[in-house]
Amino acid sequence: MKGSGRPFTVLLGADYAGKSSVLRRLADGDDWTVVSYDRGLLDPGSPLVGRVRDELLGEALAEPGRYSPDLVLTLMQVAVVHLRDRVAAAPPGRRVIVDSYYFKILAKCRLLSMGNETLFSWWRSFPRPENVVLLDVLPHEAWRRSGQGEYANGMEHYGDEPAEGAFRTFQTDLRETLLNEVKDLDVTVVPQQDGVDEAVGAVERATRNLQHA
């Protein structure tokens, strides 16, 4: 299955890199089909995915240890399979950009000892992107954007509470794990940008010569 399906780009990044802001801007234009499970970008025909996401964030991740790692991972898989399915169903004539694909969920699960290599092997059999654009953000800036941890969920830091050191260390490890996961793909790393306009421009430049449609 790795060689099947239409070409697409994955937009990747550690937490608070500005990915969602870039994707919202691209979704407002005419050039891209944006595939995401974020509430503001989710296909309105997929309400089930949104409900699962809300329950995951509002209950399962808000109360660490309440549910087994296998159950939490099963909920996350809903998002992963949704992304795969929406790429396959994307209409022709527009380029396709995917929010993180399975890469970020897989990386976080490994860092937080929620690994399931059988499941991960299946995810890795999904169609591969034509390229990956990774938005960089410095850990101290990510901490600032998180409201000094106020907005951080349980999969954005080590430990039970989002202390600055645990958050910054996790974000550093996450970036390294993401890059290792996509090392065999065409990857463009975009340095931290000053604003959304600059980040959107950098993503456009990184994908300008791709023929997705």
Predicted pLDDT of residue 60: 77
CB distance 142 to 175 below 8 Å? no
pLDDT of 12 > 50? The answer is yes
Higher pLDDT, residue 211 or 83: 83
| Mean pLDDT computed over every residue of the chain | 91
**Range 123-137 average pLDDT:** 97
- Domains in the chain, CATH or no CATH each: 9-137+186-205 (3.40.50.300)
Residue 66, pLDDT score:
82
Q: State the pLDDT at residue 210.
A: 63
Digit-coded pLDDT (tens) for 151-191: 999 899 999 889 999 999 999 999 999 999 999 999 999 99
DSSP 84-113: HHHHHHPPTTSEEEEESTTHHHHHHHHHTT
What's 47's DSSP letter?
Answer: H
Q: 83: closest CA among 127, 28, 139, 29?
A: 127
Spatial distance between the Cα atoms of 110 and 85, rounded to a whole number of angstroms: 24
Q: List pLDDT tens digits, range 49-78.
A: 989 888 887 787 777 778 888 888 999 999
Contacts for 57-66: CB closer than 8 Å, 24+ residues apart:
57/153, 61/153, 61/154, 61/155, 62/153, 62/154, 64/154, 64/160
pTM score, two decimals?
0.91
